[in-house]
Amino acid sequence: MSANIPEFTISREFAASREKLWNAWTNPQEMAKWWGPKGFTVGKYNMDFRPGGTYLYSIKSPEGFTMWGKFTYREITAPEKLVFINSFSDENGGITRHPLSPTWPQELLSTITFAEKDGKTTITVRWTPHNANEVEIKTFADGMASMVQGWGGTFDQLGDYLKNSLAPPKS
């Protein structure tokens, strides 16, 4: 195991309260409206929101390919921080390999922070390989550009969700 574990960090500011964004990340019905890379949709999901609990979900690509993922919550500090292990999984929650990258780390330690200032909230995502071998760590480090693109699309979907949920009803 390398002593130099790379960390991926990305932030985005949203014109919404921290409580609104916290709810978007912690209410499974709300999360289903935006979670995943741009163009993907959430299918099935089940959330047990507590330390030790899990969020198990499926997402479908625009081409119809279905993938499963799982968060295992480690720390919940409302409305400031979420810490969880993020993995690809099967529909029963068993950890699996990335469907398109067999050397991707099976577990990522994910820390999500929510910082509000002047009515806007900055979300920062930090990812590090967890229990990963040297090959997986290198794959993670080499994948930083694709993570920027993937998280950028996820943040775009969150932004669209917020615009739609905060907009006044049409009369």
Angle between helical axes of 144-166 and 18-26 (0-180°, round to 10): 110
Residue 26 inside a domain? The answer is: yes
Task: State yes or no: pLDDT of 171 exceeds 70.
Answer: no
Each residue's pLDDT tens digit, 37-76:
999 999 999 999 999 999 999 999 999 999 999 999 999 9
- 23 inside domain: yes
Instruction: Read off the pLDDT band of 3 (50, 70, 90).
Output: low
pLDDT at 98 over 50: yes
Check whether 1 has a pLDDT greater than 50: no
- Position 2 pLDDT exceeds 50: no
Phi, psi of 156 (to 5 degrees): -60, -45
- Total number of domains constituting the chain: 1
> Is 171 a member of any domain?
no
Quote the CA–CA distance of 44 and 35 in Å, as a whole number: 12
Let me know if residue 25 belongs to a domain. Answer: yes
3-state helix, strand, coil in the chain (%, to 5): 25, 40, 35
Dist CA 162 CA 36 (whole Å) = 15
Residue 153 lies in a domain: yes
**CATH number of the domain where residue 76 is located:** 3.30.530.20
Residue 105 in any domain: the answer is yes
CA 153 from centroid of its chain's CA atoms: 11
Alpha carbon 102 to its chain's center:
20
Within a domain: 149 = yes
Name the H helices within 12-116.
18-26, 28-31
Domain encompassing residue 130: 8-164
Q: Is residue 13 part of a domain?
A: yes
